[in-house]
Amino acid sequence: MSNNIIDRLAKRFTNSTADSHSETPDALTRDIGGHFRNNQPYVSGYFQVMFGLPTALFADNLEASSKWLHSTCESFTPHTQVITKVDIMGQGQIGSSYPVNVTTTREVTCAFREYQNMPIMNILRRWSSVFDPFTGVSPFEGSQFIPSNYKGWLAVMQTKPVRSDKAKKVWSATDVEECFIYQGVFPTTIPVDTASAEDITANDTVQLSCTFSFDGAPLTSGDDGVTEKVFGLFNALSHTHENTYEKYLAMSNITNWTAGSGSADDSPSGVS
């Protein structure tokens, strides 16, 4: 992997559809319409997340907790990066600016849909139990208070609104817009107040928003091997190996049944 960020970003741009396979918008009108076009605007809202939780805090339900977070996450806000500059002033307040470093916010935000018995709240509370709110200290012993016991990782894949390759039953590189791998992840907010019940007439579902801190800067699709690593993580999930439509047909016992020509014997089980 190259250590030069310019080379990494140039490689990502060269390999992306933005440079080698798709048209840019018209220079003067910025229009991208017409059936002849081979570029599509970015569509937000399609993404997958996967959390690697610390074993010390989730020893007895590690897999179940990770599945709950994955399947209930409904929004993801990535980090931001800011270039820090210094100003050098000349005579008459004529000035110049020069970049000196880049700062990463080192925070991401995810929102989860809550369900009965509040599993998401319990998971976030448990992940935050590195400190006891009653005593103000950690339940870990001195030698146990180490990052590997309370920090995890987060993998995120932002995709196009398309299905995976049915023949291979895996994600492909053309499905992905961007991906991230965050390390040293832990929650910095416990959204207890989100599950409020202040108004007896305001009945609604609850979405818990939680901010997570991470260490350093994330790996992205511009880094060698990262996209393939994220592929491997999400391809292991069962839902990417099954066609929902075919699964529904199998569960409904529908065989050789077409609208307008079926009989009672061909109808789904339980339907007459």
What is the longest distance spanned by two Cα atoms in the chain?
92
Tokens of 255: 């065989």
208 within 8 A of 124, measured Cβ to Cβ: yes
How confident is the model at residue 267, as a pLDDT?
Answer: 41
pLDDT digits (tens, 9 = 90+) for 23-62: 788 889 988 888 888 888 999 999 999 999 999 999 889 9
Concatenated DSSP letters for the chain? --S-HHHHHHHHHHHSHHHHTSPPPPTTT----STT--------S-EEEEEE--TTTSSSSHHHHHHHHHHHEEEEE---EEEEEEEEE-GGG-EEEEEEEEEE--EEEEEEE--TT-HHHHHHHHHTTTS-TTTSS-SS-GGG-SGGGT-EEEEEEEE-S-PPBTTTTB--GGGEEEEEEEEEEEES---GGGG----TT-----EEEEEEEEEEEEEETTSTTHHHHHHHHHHTSGGGGS-HHHHHHHHHT--S--TTT--GGGSPTT--
pLDDT digits (tens, 9 = 90+) for 239-260: 555 666 777 777 776 555 555 4
Q: Per-residue confidence at 261, pLDDT binned at 50, 70, 90? A: very low
Residue 179 to residue 261: CA distance in whole angstroms: 47
Q: Enumerate residues 6+ apart whose C-beta is below 8 A from 36.
A: none
Q: Which residue shows structure tokens 């600016």?
A: 97
Question: Higher-confidence residue: 15 or 173?
Answer: 173
Strand bridging mode 81-89 / 152-159: unpaired
Report how far apart the first and last C-alpha atoms of the chain are (Å, whole number). 62
How confident is the model at residue 100, as a pLDDT?
Answer: 97
pTM of the model: 0.82
Max mean pLDDT range (165-179, 200-214, 254-268): 200-214
Instruction: State phi, psi for 33 to the nearest 5 degrees.
Output: -80, 165
**Helix orientation angle between 119-127 and 62-72, rounded to the nearest 10 degrees:** 120
Name the β-bridge partners of 51.
Answer: 154
Mean pLDDT of 93-103: 95
Residue 206 to residue 196: CA distance in whole angstroms: 9
| 12 torsion bin: left (phi>0), alpha (psi -120 to 50), beta (else) | alpha
